[in-house]
Amino acid sequence: MKNKSQPTSPRPPLSRRKRFLFGVVMIFLPFVLLLATEGVLRLFSYGGNAAIFRNAGTVSGGSLFISDQDGAISYFFANRDRPGYNDQYQFTEPKGSNVFRIFTVGESAMKGFPQPRNLASTSFLQAMLQDAWPQRNVEVINLGTTAVASYPVLGMMTEALEFAPDLVVIYTGHNEFFGTYGVASIGRAGGKPWMLGVTRFVHSLAIVQAWTKLTASKTPEGNITLMERMVGRAYVAPDDWSRGAAANNLYHNVREMLRRCQARGVPVLVCTQPSNERNLAPIGQEKPGDASARTQFQLAQSLYASNQFPQALAAFQKARDLDTMPWRATSAANAAIRRAAQELNAIVCDVEGAFHTNSSGGSIGWELMDDHVHPTMRGQALIAEAIVQSLSHMTGAVSVSAEACARIGDWQSYAERLGDNKYDRYAVAHMMRVIFDVPFMRETNPGAHAHFNRIASELEQAESKEIQEIMREYQTVRPHAGGKRPITGMVARQFMREKRYEEALKYYQIAQKSVPEYTSWHMEFVYFTLACREKLAGKLSEGERNLALSEIEQGKFLLQRGFSQTGFTERYTGRLHQLRGEFAEAIPFLNASREKLTGFELVAADQALFTSFVETGRQADARVLAENGIAKSGQYAGYYKQMLEILDQKGAGKAEQK
């Protein structure tokens, strides 16, 4: 007979303490798992935000810092593939005793778009202040970044305060709706200043960054800029809540910028924001019941035509303020800037007022604006003049005395010194006709496209067929890190082919000013500048040889720190050695460049390497190079045949001598 199973005793209930501990564990377990996941992902380089400055290494003056594109990209969480961008500027730490360092912060208008960097307002400012203060070394570091609202500007400026600025200039206010961290780009989260910081923190988390990368869109929309993406749904009604939120965010962020500068004891200027009032009709669509921006604009045009200029200005500004695509700083935005400055007793640089004073009838138009908010070259110079004028009313080290002001010339002389030229003017005009050929722009402002098309076409027609071909090629050049290869460098190369060395020299010197210093572009233009001088004078002067050596050292610095992906740094390091007659030293750099170059660029490097082989008596290596090129270079085989012919001629010459 089987034993019956004994009934089990019921387990005693958990104590209150254990139930409490169990509840705590269950509550915190998801957070622990999230923290663990966050930690693991950070081991794989997710998480955090890149800094706007990178310590690139040690140079003769100290530690070299450069403004880094990754710092700007970190704010574009919605579209990291095609973000806004800033230009590369550099400075050394510690700061020299006679250095006067200025940081300018803001948007694309501050950056200088669409002018080349050598004709941006900051270039004019540096030249003017250098003349005013000859005993100082004036540095102007331009952190202007395209497509950002004022919150990213605040972040970039805060980082800049760590590098001993003597002055900060704030120029922001146009992108509070559609720029990154603008109210229309992140919805209701952009409606409160504190939410902007929360959004920034959330997108710094490794988990969020990994998820964003995993789910990134592969559709065409994922490969357009934030501003382009906003165009399709850009409608802000005249009474929309976001208008007040945009002005409030601008006020809060500008005020915080001013407060942080003052807390560090750093002099600061904040600029009002001019925009194209007279020559740009409202861009946005209108719906029934809207207060009509277009009606106001037509009224303003009528008043302007009848010389009623004050009334016309008021109507132009009302039309701008009612525009349902608010790409221009509104009256509320400028009022927010002034309010923030007034509360903290900060100095306002009234750039908008300066533009009004220098505009026909007091309303801003084409003479100072290339589009809706981006100044012409004259406008860029006028921004610099307005800043200098504001400094003349300040005290202390930033003050520009009457004696110093007297040393400053007229803006045209600075434009000429900085490299004003017809080819860059063409590049700007072409860029503008492309922008105004966008359907919604052409529909609302048909005259704008005609205006810039006429300017660009006249400049094209005045050139030779060869230069016209260069202009067409420039239109197709792919931007690199937000910028295009300077058209001046492309034109200079053509002049060099035609043996017009004086003209080539002029434009290579301009191209050299229009690119960042620690780049292969800069090395390229320095090399060709010196090559032109050698052609004109027969040999390089000692100063020019020293310039080549200095550029070689920069090339070695870039290579040691992994800044070369294209092969151009190696190539021009080698070419600069050759200019100095150092053919053996050039060989390893030219050989290294061959591993990265393709097409005609590889042919050019091989031609230089061939020269070094011949000059150092390595005819066998030169022959192998030429024969390999004939066999493998396809359409470029003719260039290698010419090398072989040179070798054969040299061999025949030696045989005759014997």
Give 316-346 pLDDT, tens digit per residue: 999 999 999 999 999 999 999 999 999 999 9
Out of 137-146, 196-205, 615-624, least confident range: 196-205
Q: What is the phi/psi pair of residue 5, to 5°?
A: -65, 140
Question: Where among 381, 396, 418 does a domain terminate?
Answer: 418
**What is the mean pLDDT of the segment spanning 261-285?**
96
pLDDT band at residue 477 using 50, 70 and 90 as cut-offs? confident
Select, from the ranges 77-81, 372-376, 431-435, the one with the highest average predicted confidence (pLDDT).
372-376
Residue 316 included in any domain:
no
85 shares its domain with 201: yes
155 shares its domain with 262: yes
Per-residue pLDDT, 8: 61
Per-residue pLDDT, 271: 98
Give me 243's structure tokens. Answer: 């208008």
Per-residue pLDDT, 225: 47
d(CA 36, CA 39): 5
Query: Does an H or E element contain 352, and which?
Result: helix 351-357
pLDDT of 291 > 90? The answer is no
Per-residue pLDDT, 39: 74
Q: What is the phi/psi pair of residue 416, to 5°?
A: -65, -45
pLDDT of 100 > 50? The answer is yes
pLDDT of 656 > 90? The answer is no
pLDDT band at residue 227 using 50, 70 and 90 as cut-offs? very low
Select, from the ranges 10-14, 49-53, 181-185, 319-323, the one with the highest average predicted confidence (pLDDT).
319-323
Residue 181 included in any domain:
yes
Residue 16 included in any domain:
no
pLDDT of 476 > 70? The answer is yes
Per-residue pLDDT, 124: 98
Question: Where among 418, 441, 467 does a domain terminate?
Answer: 418
pLDDT band at residue 79 using 50, 70 and 90 as cut-offs? low
Residue 295 included in any domain:
no
Per-residue pLDDT, 224: 47
**What is the mean pLDDT of the segment spanning 457-466?**
96
406 shares its domain with 544: no
Per-residue pLDDT, 226: 46
Residues 392-418 have pLDDT tens digits of: 999 999 999 999 999 999 999 999 999
- Contacts of 76 by beta carbon, 8 Å cutoff, 6+ apart: 83, 84, 147, 180, 226
108 shares its domain with 230: yes
- What is the model's pTM? 0.91
Select, from the ranges 226-240, 562-576, 579-593, the one with the highest average predicted confidence (pLDDT).
579-593
What crossing angle do the helices spanning 422-435 and 465-476 adopt, rounded to 10°?
50
Residues 412-458 have pLDDT tens digits of: 999 999 999 999 999 999 999 999 998 888 889 999 999 999 999 99
d(CA 116, CA 80): 24
Average pLDDT, the chain: 90
Residue 45 included in any domain:
no
Per-residue pLDDT, 221: 47
Select, from the ranges 183-197, 216-230, 367-381, the one with the highest average predicted confidence (pLDDT).
367-381
pLDDT of 351 > 90? The answer is yes
251 shares its domain with 388: yes
pLDDT band at residue 106 using 50, 70 and 90 as cut-offs? very high
CATH number, domain at 127? 3.40.50.1110
Per-residue pLDDT, 37: 74
Residue 614 included in any domain:
yes
What is the domain count for the chain? 2
Question: Where among 378, 400, 418 does a domain terminate?
Answer: 418
Residues 606-626 have pLDDT tens digits of: 999 999 999 999 999 999 999
Residue 343 included in any domain:
yes
270 shares its domain with 399: yes
Edge-first strand listing for the sheet containing 53-59:
53-59, 62-67, 90-93
CATH number, domain at 628? 1.25.40.10
Residue 269 included in any domain:
yes
- Domain extent for 522: 517-658
pLDDT of 77 > 50? The answer is yes
Residues 630-649 have pLDDT tens digits of: 999 899 999 999 999 988 88
- Using CA atoms, how far residue 341 sits from 37, 161, 170, 269, 463, in Å, is 44, 19, 11, 9, 50
